[in-house]
Structure 1
Amino acid sequence: MNPNPLFLAVQFTSPGPIIFEIGPLSIRWYGVLIASAVLIGVSLSQYLASRRQIDPELIGDLAIWLVIGAIPCARLYYVAFEWKSYVNDPGSIIAIWKGGIAIHGAILGGLIAALLFAKVKQIPFWPLADVVAPSLILGQAIGRWGNFFNSEAFGRPTDAPWKLYIPPERRPFGYESYDYFHPTFLYESLWNLMVFILLITLFFRGLKGKPPLKPGTIFLVYLGAYSSGRIWIEGLRMDSLMLGPLRIAQLVSLSGIVLGLFGLIWLYGLKRTLPDVVPKSQASNS
C-alpha cells in the first residue's frame, strides 16, 4: 500500500453500523439517517409547497403515504432480486435496519402511493411531484451515507486518494486480498446533491417565471438527472442486483432517462400541459 501520509489521510473508513447500544437495543446509523432524511424532506417540501400556494398540511399527509409506500417496496424490491440470500432465513427479510433496500423500489412505491393520494384527495398529481422531487433527491443524498456505515454499496478495488476501506468480512468473494474500494456511495451522494441544487434552482427561477415552468417539469428533470448519474455509478459497483448478465439499476435508470427526456419533449416540444396547481383554499378543504 502507498505509505504517503497525505494519501492515507483522505481514505474513508467506516466506524461501524451502530452508534450506541442500550441493553438489547441498538441505535444504528442507517435508521437515523433514513429518519433524518424523511424529516428534512417533509420540512423542505412543506416550504416549497407554501411557495407554490399548496397547503403545507397536505404535504404532511402525503408524507405518511410516501413512507408507507416507499420503505416496504424498497425492501421487497431488494429481497426479490436477492432471494437466494433470504430463502434459508426468511425472518431476516424484515431486518431493514441492517441495510438492503433499493432506492428504485422506494421510488416506485412512493410513486404509487402519491398517485393514490392524489386520486383520493381529488387533486392534480404533478404539482405535488414537483414540490416533493427536490426533497426526494436530497433525502437520497443523505441516505446514501447509511451504506458507508454499513460498509456496503461500494465499487471495484481502487488505490485512489478517496479510497474506501472495507473490513475483510464485508469483501466480495474473490476480493478478500483487497483492502480499498471505490466509495460509490459517496459518488452517488455527491451526484444527488448536485441534482438537488439543479432542481431547487429551477424551482425558484420558475417562481419568477425565468423560465416559466409547466407542472411536472421539476419531477421529470429529477427523473432524468438522477438516472443519468446512477447509470454510470452502478457500473462501478460490485453488489448490483442482477437479472442474468444485466444490472437491474442500469436498466431502470435507462428507462428513467428515456421517460424524463420524452416527458420534457412532450411538455415543451409538443406544447402540452398537465393539470396545474391546486389553489391553497381548495387543498385545505380536501
Structure 2
Amino acid sequence: MDTLLLLNPIAFSIGALKVHWYGLILGTAALVGLLLVIREGKRYNIPQEVFMDMVLLGVPSAIIGARIYYVAFRWDDYKDNFWDVFKIWNGGIAIYGALIGAIICAVIFFRRKGYNFWRMADICAPGLIVGQMIGRWGNFVNQEAYGGPVEESFLRDKLHLPDFIVNQMNVEGVFHHPAFLYESMWSLVGLIILLVLRRQKFLRAGELFMSYFIWYSIGRFFIEALRTDSLGFQAPQWVASMVNGLWSPMTAMGFEQGYLDPAYGNVRISQLLAIGIIVVAVVFIVVRRMTGKADVRYSDPIVSSKVPSESSDDMVQTGPVAGKEDTVTPVSTKEDLKQAEEKKE
C-alpha cells in the first residue's frame, strides 16, 4: 500500500493567524462564480457593482444560513459547547441552509435595487453551481462529506483516481466513497447544461434558476445516501420506504447506502428536500407556462425600476446581441432610432 498522505487543513500561518484551505477554497469558489455572473450581466448592461455588492452580502448570509441549518439539526452536539457553533473552519455547514440564506438575501437585495428577482436569479444560476463544484473540494481537504466504506481497489482500479484523492479518502484506516468528488463532477455537468440551456430561445424567465435546482437536487438525492454524516429525522415508515424505493436503482448498480445514525432518524433530510425541490420546480415551470405567466424570455432586456425617471422617457433598452457572448446592444434614444429609420428610407 502507498504511504498514507493526509493533507494539512492549514494552508499557511501569519503569526498566530492560521489560514485554512477550507476558507481559501470557499473564497475561490465565490470569486469564480462572481466572475461568471458578471460576464453574463454585461450582456444585459447590468453594472458589475450590483453583483459584487450581492456577493459581499450573499456570501456571509449563505454561511450563516448553512451553519444555522446544520447546528439546528445537530443541536445535541453543540448545546454543551456553544462556542463550537462558530468554528466553521472545522466543517459542519449544509448546502441547503446556504441556499436559503443566500436566496433570502438576494430577494431583499434585488428588490431594493429595482431588479426582478427571477431575471437576476437566472443570471446567477451558473455562478451558484460552479461555486458548489469548487467548494466541495474544501470537504476533501477536511476529510468530510465522504461516503460509506469501500475497498481501495474500487478507488484505484474502477474509478482510476489519483493517489492524492485515494489517500485522502483513507479515514482512520478505512477507505470511503469520495462523495465530494461525485457531487463536484455532477455540478460540472450541470454547469455545462446551464450554459447551453441559457442560449435557447424557448427559455423563459425563472426557468434557468429552476433548472439549476432540478439538476442539483437529482444528483444530491442519490449522492446523499452514500454519505455517513447526513442530517436525519424520524419520519413515518412509508416516507422512509418511498425514499429507499426511489434510491433502489443505485442498489441495482452495486452501491450501498452509508450509515445513518438511528439516533438522528430514519430519513436523510437532504434527500427529502431534494424530492420536494424537484417537484416544486417542475410545477413552477409547468404552471407558469400553462397560465400564460411565462411571457418574459431569458433573452429579453433586464431593466431596473430604480433607473432615473428622466432617462426612462427617452431611452429604449434593448437586449443582448444574438450569438455574441460579451457584447450588449447599445442603449439608443428615440431620436437616434428615428434618424436610423429615415436613413433606411
TM-score, normalised via structure 2 length:
0.71
Match of 2:187 in 1: 192
Q: Check if 1:62 corresponds to 2:54.
A: yes
Match of 1:34 in 2: 26
In 2, the alpha carbon distance for the partners of 1:121 and 1:273 equals 23
Select the residue among 203, 228, 231 that pairs with 1:213: 203
Match of 1:222 in 2: 212
Name the SS for the 1:215 alignment partner: coil
Does the 8 Å CA contact 1:42/1:60 hold for their aligned counterparts?
Answer: yes
Name the SS for the 1:158 alignment partner: coil
Name the SS for the 1:20 alignment partner: strand
In 2, the alpha carbon distance for the partners of 1:191 and 1:269 equals 31
Select the residue among 87, 93, 97 that pairs with 1:105: 97
Select the residue among 222, 229, 234 that pairs with 1:239: 229
Select the residue among 14, 17, 37 that pairs with 2:9: 17
Residue identity opposite 2:182 in structure 1? Y
Does the 8 Å CA contact 2:114/2:305 hold for their aligned counterparts?
Answer: no
Match of 2:270 in 1: 249
Cα deviation, 1:89-122, whole Å, max 9, x if unaligned, reads 1111111122111110000011111111122223
Shift of 1:281: 7.2
Q: How does 1:81-230 map to 2 (within 5 A)?
A: 81-159=73-151, 160-161=154-155, 162=159, 163=166, 165-168=169-172, 179-203=174-198, 205-206=199-200, 209=201, 212-230=202-220
In 1, the alpha carbon distance for the partners of 2:57 and 2:308 equals 18
In 2, the alpha carbon distance for the partners of 1:43 and 1:265 equals 31
In 1, the alpha carbon distance for the partners of 2:306 and 2:37 equals 15
| Runs of 4+ more than 3 Å apart | 267-271, 274-286
In 2, the alpha carbon distance for the partners of 1:70 and 1:134 equals 16
Name the SS for the 2:225 alignment partner: helix
CA separation of 1:95 and 1:278: change in aligned 2, threshold 3 A: farther
Q: How many residues align?
A: 264
Shift of 1:283: 6.4
Does the 8 Å CA contact 1:54/1:278 hold for their aligned counterparts?
Answer: no
CA separation of 1:229 and 1:135: change in aligned 2, threshold 3 A: same
Cα deviation, 1:226-281, whole Å, max 9, x if unaligned, reads 00000000010000011121111111111111122112212334442276766457
In 2, the alpha carbon distance for the partners of 1:264 and 1:75 equals 30
In 2, the alpha carbon distance for the partners of 1:228 and 1:240 equals 16
Report sequence identity in percent.
39
CA separation of 1:74 and 1:285: change in aligned 2, threshold 3 A: farther
In 2, the alpha carbon distance for the partners of 1:14 and 1:234 equals 24
Does the 8 Å CA contact 2:207/2:285 hold for their aligned counterparts?
Answer: yes
Does the 8 Å CA contact 2:217/2:275 hold for their aligned counterparts?
Answer: yes
In 2, the alpha carbon distance for the partners of 1:234 and 1:167 equals 19
CA separation of 1:284 and 1:96: change in aligned 2, threshold 3 A: farther
Shift of 1:32: 0.2
Greater relative contact order (Cα < 8 A, sep 6+)? 1
Match of 1:46 in 2: 38
Cα deviation, 1:173-196, whole Å, max 9, x if unaligned, reads xxxxx5100000000000011111
In 2, the alpha carbon distance for the partners of 1:130 and 1:274 equals 15
Task: Answer with 52-61 or 21-30: which moved more.
Answer: 52-61
Shift of 1:167: 3.2
TM-score, normalised via structure 1 length:
0.85
Computing the radius of gyration from Cα coordinates, the structure with the larger value is 2
Match of 2:253 in 1: none
Shift of 1:39: 1.1
5+ residue gaps in structure 2?
160-165, 234-264, 310-345
Shift of 1:285: 5.4
Across the aligned residues of Structure 1 and Structure 2, the Cα RMSD in angstroms comes to 2.3
In 2, the alpha carbon distance for the partners of 1:133 and 1:36 equals 17
Does the 8 Å CA contact 2:217/2:278 hold for their aligned counterparts?
Answer: yes
In 2, the alpha carbon distance for the partners of 1:16 and 1:282 equals 49
Name the SS for the 1:142 alignment partner: helix
Shift of 1:69: 1.8
Does the 8 Å CA contact 2:137/2:180 hold for their aligned counterparts?
Answer: yes
Shift of 1:217: 1.1
Name the SS for the 1:69 alignment partner: helix
Residue identity opposite 1:38 in structure 2? A
Match of 1:174 in 2: none
Match of 1:75 in 2: 67
